[in-house]
Amino acid sequence: MKKKVLSVLLALVLVLSFSLVTAVPVAAGGGKNAGCNTIKDGVILYSEGHYLEGEPLKVGYDIFGYNYQAHQFNGSYANSYLGKDGYPPYEGDAEAYLAANEGVDSKWYWQYRDVQLLMKWNDAWLSNKDCDDDGILDRHYGFASYIGSGAWDTNHQSGSYEVEGKTYKWTYFVKIVAAPTGAYKDGGIWYTAEDTEIGPVIWGSYAVLQRVYNDQGTGEHGIELLSPASPGFGAYK
Ligand SMILES: [Ca+2]
Protein backbone atom coordinates (compact mmCIF):
# COMPACT_ATOMS: atom_id res chain seq x y z
CA MET A 1 0.00 0.00 0.00
CA LYS A 2 2.64 2.45 1.02
CA LYS A 3 4.77 1.82 -2.01
CA LYS A 4 1.87 2.32 -4.39
CA VAL A 5 1.14 5.69 -2.90
CA LEU A 6 4.77 6.61 -3.24
CA SER A 7 4.88 5.50 -6.85
CA VAL A 8 2.17 7.98 -7.67
CA LEU A 9 3.82 10.73 -5.72
CA LEU A 10 7.07 10.14 -7.51
CA ALA A 11 5.43 10.91 -10.80
CA LEU A 12 4.25 14.26 -9.58
CA VAL A 13 7.59 15.24 -8.16
CA LEU A 14 9.34 14.55 -11.40
CA VAL A 15 6.86 16.35 -13.57
CA LEU A 16 6.76 19.42 -11.37
CA SER A 17 10.49 19.60 -10.98
CA PHE A 18 10.65 20.62 -14.62
CA SER A 19 8.77 23.83 -14.12
CA LEU A 20 10.70 25.24 -11.20
CA VAL A 21 12.99 27.55 -13.01
CA THR A 22 13.11 30.14 -15.73
CA ALA A 23 16.07 31.90 -17.23
CA VAL A 24 16.97 35.27 -18.60
CA PRO A 25 18.93 34.89 -21.83
CA VAL A 26 22.21 36.74 -22.03
CA ALA A 27 24.74 37.24 -24.77
CA ALA A 28 26.59 34.00 -25.36
CA GLY A 29 30.27 33.71 -24.49
CA GLY A 30 32.90 31.57 -26.18
CA GLY A 31 34.29 28.18 -25.26
CA LYS A 32 32.83 24.76 -24.78
CA ASN A 33 29.31 25.94 -23.99
CA ALA A 34 29.23 28.76 -26.47
CA GLY A 35 25.65 29.74 -27.06
CA CYS A 36 24.49 28.21 -23.78
CA ASN A 37 23.49 29.95 -20.60
CA THR A 38 24.76 28.09 -17.56
CA ILE A 39 23.86 28.12 -13.89
CA LYS A 40 27.29 29.53 -13.19
CA ASP A 41 26.40 32.56 -15.32
CA GLY A 42 23.86 33.50 -12.63
CA VAL A 43 21.12 34.30 -15.13
CA ILE A 44 18.79 31.33 -14.65
CA LEU A 45 16.23 32.40 -12.10
CA TYR A 46 13.70 30.71 -9.81
CA SER A 47 10.29 31.14 -11.32
CA GLU A 48 7.41 33.36 -10.29
CA GLY A 49 5.70 32.14 -7.14
CA HIS A 50 8.72 30.19 -5.93
CA TYR A 51 9.97 30.96 -2.43
CA LEU A 52 13.22 32.07 -4.08
CA GLU A 53 11.51 33.91 -6.94
CA GLY A 54 13.85 36.17 -8.85
CA GLU A 55 17.01 34.76 -7.30
CA PRO A 56 19.48 33.05 -9.61
CA LEU A 57 20.08 29.34 -9.39
CA LYS A 58 23.47 28.61 -7.92
CA VAL A 59 25.95 25.82 -8.38
CA GLY A 60 25.50 23.39 -5.47
CA TYR A 61 22.49 22.48 -3.35
CA ASP A 62 19.84 25.08 -2.76
CA ILE A 63 18.05 25.41 0.59
CA PHE A 64 15.42 22.86 -0.49
CA GLY A 65 17.79 20.14 -1.66
CA TYR A 66 17.87 20.72 -5.41
CA ASN A 67 21.23 20.71 -7.12
CA TYR A 68 20.44 21.49 -10.73
CA GLN A 69 24.10 21.65 -11.68
CA ALA A 70 24.72 18.10 -10.43
CA HIS A 71 21.36 16.77 -11.67
CA GLN A 72 20.05 15.75 -8.29
CA PHE A 73 17.75 16.41 -5.37
CA ASN A 74 18.48 15.22 -1.85
CA GLY A 75 16.20 16.02 1.03
CA SER A 76 12.73 15.88 2.50
CA TYR A 77 10.09 14.71 0.07
CA ALA A 78 8.03 17.77 0.98
CA ASN A 79 10.93 20.05 0.15
CA SER A 80 10.82 18.94 -3.46
CA TYR A 81 7.48 20.83 -3.60
CA LEU A 82 7.45 23.47 -0.90
CA GLY A 83 9.69 25.97 -2.68
CA LYS A 84 7.61 25.92 -5.84
CA ASP A 85 4.52 26.62 -3.75
CA GLY A 86 6.15 29.62 -2.14
CA TYR A 87 6.99 28.03 1.18
CA PRO A 88 10.34 27.96 2.97
CA PRO A 89 12.16 24.64 3.37
CA TYR A 90 10.93 22.24 6.03
CA GLU A 91 13.70 21.44 8.47
CA GLY A 92 12.21 18.84 10.78
CA ASP A 93 10.11 20.75 13.32
CA ALA A 94 6.57 20.22 12.05
CA GLU A 95 4.88 22.17 14.83
CA ALA A 96 7.00 25.26 14.35
CA TYR A 97 6.70 25.03 10.56
CA LEU A 98 2.91 24.82 10.72
CA ALA A 99 2.73 27.76 13.08
CA ALA A 100 4.77 29.86 10.68
CA ASN A 101 3.10 28.56 7.50
CA GLU A 102 -0.59 28.26 8.15
CA GLY A 103 -2.45 25.97 5.78
CA VAL A 104 0.57 24.03 4.55
CA ASP A 105 -0.89 20.91 6.16
CA SER A 106 -3.60 20.96 3.48
CA LYS A 107 -0.93 20.25 0.84
CA TRP A 108 -1.01 16.60 -0.23
CA TYR A 109 2.74 16.18 0.19
CA TRP A 110 2.85 17.52 3.74
CA GLN A 111 2.27 14.05 5.18
CA TYR A 112 5.44 12.87 3.40
CA ARG A 113 7.69 15.52 4.96
CA ASP A 114 9.72 12.90 6.82
CA VAL A 115 10.28 10.71 3.74
CA GLN A 116 13.83 11.15 2.49
CA LEU A 117 14.19 11.49 -1.27
CA LEU A 118 17.33 11.19 -3.36
CA MET A 119 16.52 11.88 -7.00
CA LYS A 120 19.02 11.82 -9.86
CA TRP A 121 18.55 12.53 -13.54
CA ASN A 122 20.69 12.94 -16.63
CA ASP A 123 21.15 15.94 -18.88
CA ALA A 124 18.59 14.74 -21.42
CA TRP A 125 15.97 14.61 -18.62
CA LEU A 126 16.72 18.09 -17.30
CA SER A 127 19.88 19.84 -18.37
CA ASN A 128 21.90 22.22 -16.24
CA LYS A 129 22.18 24.53 -19.24
CA ASP A 130 19.99 26.53 -21.58
CA CYS A 131 21.43 25.92 -25.02
CA ASP A 132 18.28 26.35 -27.10
CA ASP A 133 17.81 29.92 -25.89
CA ASP A 134 14.24 29.57 -24.65
CA GLY A 135 15.13 30.90 -21.21
CA ILE A 136 14.76 27.67 -19.25
CA LEU A 137 16.91 24.64 -18.53
CA ASP A 138 16.82 22.33 -21.53
CA ARG A 139 14.97 19.04 -21.71
CA HIS A 140 15.75 16.33 -24.28
CA TYR A 141 18.19 18.75 -25.92
CA GLY A 142 18.77 17.87 -29.55
CA PHE A 143 15.61 15.75 -29.74
CA ALA A 144 12.08 16.72 -30.71
CA SER A 145 10.69 14.94 -27.65
CA TYR A 146 11.87 12.66 -24.86
CA ILE A 147 11.45 9.63 -27.11
CA GLY A 148 14.87 8.32 -28.08
CA SER A 149 16.67 11.01 -26.06
CA GLY A 150 18.03 8.59 -23.48
CA ALA A 151 16.53 10.68 -20.65
CA TRP A 152 16.50 8.84 -17.34
CA ASP A 153 15.72 9.37 -13.69
CA THR A 154 16.17 7.44 -10.48
CA ASN A 155 14.56 7.80 -7.07
CA HIS A 156 15.67 6.48 -3.73
CA GLN A 157 13.08 6.99 -1.03
CA SER A 158 13.33 5.94 2.58
CA GLY A 159 11.40 6.35 5.77
CA SER A 160 9.98 4.66 8.79
CA TYR A 161 6.63 4.13 10.44
CA GLU A 162 5.35 2.88 13.75
CA VAL A 163 3.00 0.03 14.49
CA GLU A 164 2.07 -0.64 18.09
CA GLY A 165 5.06 1.23 19.40
CA LYS A 166 7.56 -0.48 17.14
CA THR A 167 9.44 1.35 14.39
CA TYR A 168 9.85 -0.21 10.94
CA LYS A 169 12.09 1.10 8.18
CA TRP A 170 11.37 0.93 4.46
CA THR A 171 13.24 1.85 1.28
CA TYR A 172 12.03 2.21 -2.28
CA PHE A 173 14.05 2.54 -5.46
CA VAL A 174 12.84 3.11 -8.99
CA LYS A 175 14.53 3.61 -12.38
CA ILE A 176 12.74 5.31 -15.25
CA VAL A 177 13.86 5.88 -18.84
CA ALA A 178 12.41 7.57 -21.90
CA ALA A 179 11.20 5.04 -24.46
CA PRO A 180 13.67 4.48 -27.32
CA THR A 181 12.98 5.32 -30.95
CA GLY A 182 10.73 2.72 -32.55
CA ALA A 183 9.26 1.53 -29.25
CA TYR A 184 5.50 1.11 -28.98
CA LYS A 185 2.90 0.90 -26.23
CA ASP A 186 0.43 -1.92 -25.77
CA GLY A 187 -1.75 -2.50 -22.75
CA GLY A 188 0.13 -0.07 -20.55
CA ILE A 189 3.53 -1.56 -21.41
CA TRP A 190 6.35 -0.20 -23.57
CA TYR A 191 7.88 -2.68 -26.05
CA THR A 192 10.98 -2.33 -28.20
CA ALA A 193 10.63 -2.32 -31.99
CA GLU A 194 11.67 -6.00 -31.73
CA ASP A 195 8.68 -6.71 -29.43
CA THR A 196 10.66 -7.14 -26.23
CA GLU A 197 8.95 -5.80 -23.14
CA ILE A 198 10.68 -2.72 -21.71
CA GLY A 199 8.41 -1.95 -18.77
CA PRO A 200 5.22 -0.24 -17.58
CA VAL A 201 4.30 3.09 -19.15
CA ILE A 202 4.65 6.12 -16.92
CA TRP A 203 3.79 9.73 -17.95
CA GLY A 204 3.33 8.68 -21.56
CA SER A 205 6.89 8.83 -22.84
CA TYR A 206 8.62 6.83 -20.11
CA ALA A 207 9.01 3.25 -19.02
CA VAL A 208 9.72 1.91 -15.54
CA LEU A 209 12.80 -0.31 -15.74
CA GLN A 210 13.20 -1.40 -12.16
CA ARG A 211 11.55 -1.18 -8.76
CA VAL A 212 12.99 -2.39 -5.49
CA TYR A 213 11.08 -2.29 -2.23
CA ASN A 214 12.17 -3.31 1.23
CA ASP A 215 9.96 -3.04 4.29
CA GLN A 216 10.84 -4.35 7.73
CA GLY A 217 7.21 -4.27 8.75
CA THR A 218 5.67 -6.23 5.89
CA GLY A 219 8.71 -8.37 5.08
CA GLU A 220 8.69 -7.25 1.46
CA HIS A 221 12.21 -7.40 0.15
CA GLY A 222 14.09 -6.99 -3.09
CA ILE A 223 13.35 -6.51 -6.75
CA GLU A 224 9.66 -6.35 -7.56
CA LEU A 225 10.05 -5.30 -11.17
CA LEU A 226 12.92 -5.72 -13.62
CA SER A 227 12.80 -4.85 -17.31
CA PRO A 228 12.97 -7.92 -19.59
CA ALA A 229 14.61 -5.81 -22.31
CA SER A 230 17.30 -4.41 -19.98
CA PRO A 231 17.41 -2.61 -16.64
CA GLY A 232 20.41 -0.62 -17.87
CA PHE A 233 19.97 2.92 -19.14
CA GLY A 234 22.56 2.43 -21.88
CA ALA A 235 20.21 0.09 -23.75
CA TYR A 236 17.78 2.91 -24.48
CA LYS A 237 19.92 5.53 -26.12
CA1 LIG B 1 16.26 25.87 -22.81
pLDDT tens across 107-124, in order?
A: 999 999 999 999 999 999
Query: Quick check: 152 pLDDT over 50?
Result: yes
* % residues pLDDT > 70 (the chain): 86
Q: Mean of the per-residue pLDDT values for the chain?
A: 89
Residue 6 has what pLDDT?
55
Tell me how far apart the alpha carbons of residues 125 and 122 are, in angstroms, rounded to a whole number.
5
CA of 147 to the centre of ligand 1 (A): 17
Q: How many domains would you assign to the chain?
A: 2
In the three-class reduction of DSSP (H, G, I as helix; E, B as strand; rest coil), residue 111 is classed as: helix
Query: Quick check: 23 pLDDT over 50?
Result: no
Please check whether residues 228 and 175 belong to one and the same domain: yes
Q: State which residues form the domain around 134.
A: 19-138
In the three-class reduction of DSSP (H, G, I as helix; E, B as strand; rest coil), residue 202 is classed as: strand
- Is the residue at 96 inside a domain? yes
Please check whether residues 115 and 220 belong to one and the same domain: no
Tell me how far apart the alpha carbons of residues 144 and 160 are, in angstroms, rounded to a whole number.
41
pTM for the whole structure: 0.84
Tell me how far apart the alpha carbons of residues 103 and 91 are, in angstroms, rounded to a whole number.
17
- Domain end position, chosen among 119, 138, 157: 138
CA of 122 to the centre of ligand 1 (A): 15
Query: Quick check: 9 pLDDT over 60?
Result: no
Please check whether residues 70 and 152 belong to one and the same domain: no
CA of 195 to the centre of ligand 1 (A): 34
- Strands of the chain, DSSP E: 21-23, 37-38, 44-46, 66-67, 72-76, 116-121, 129-130, 152-163, 166-178, 184-186, 189-191, 197-202, 206-215, 223-226
Please check whether residues 118 and 153 belong to one and the same domain: no
- Is the residue at 5 inside a domain? no
Query: Quick check: 47 pLDDT over 90?
Result: no
Please check whether residues 160 and 122 belong to one and the same domain: no
CA of 47 to the centre of ligand 1 (A): 14
CA of 72 to the centre of ligand 1 (A): 18
CA of 26 to the centre of ligand 1 (A): 12
- Is the residue at 213 inside a domain? yes
Of the listed ranges 16-20, 112-116, 191-195, 208-212, the one predicted with least confidence: 16-20
Residue 35 has what pLDDT?
85
* Amino acid at position 77, single letter: Y
CA of 139 to the centre of ligand 1 (A): 7
Q: Which residues contact 188 (CB under 8 A, 6 or more apart)?
A: 200, 201
Query: Quick check: 134 pLDDT over 90?
Result: no
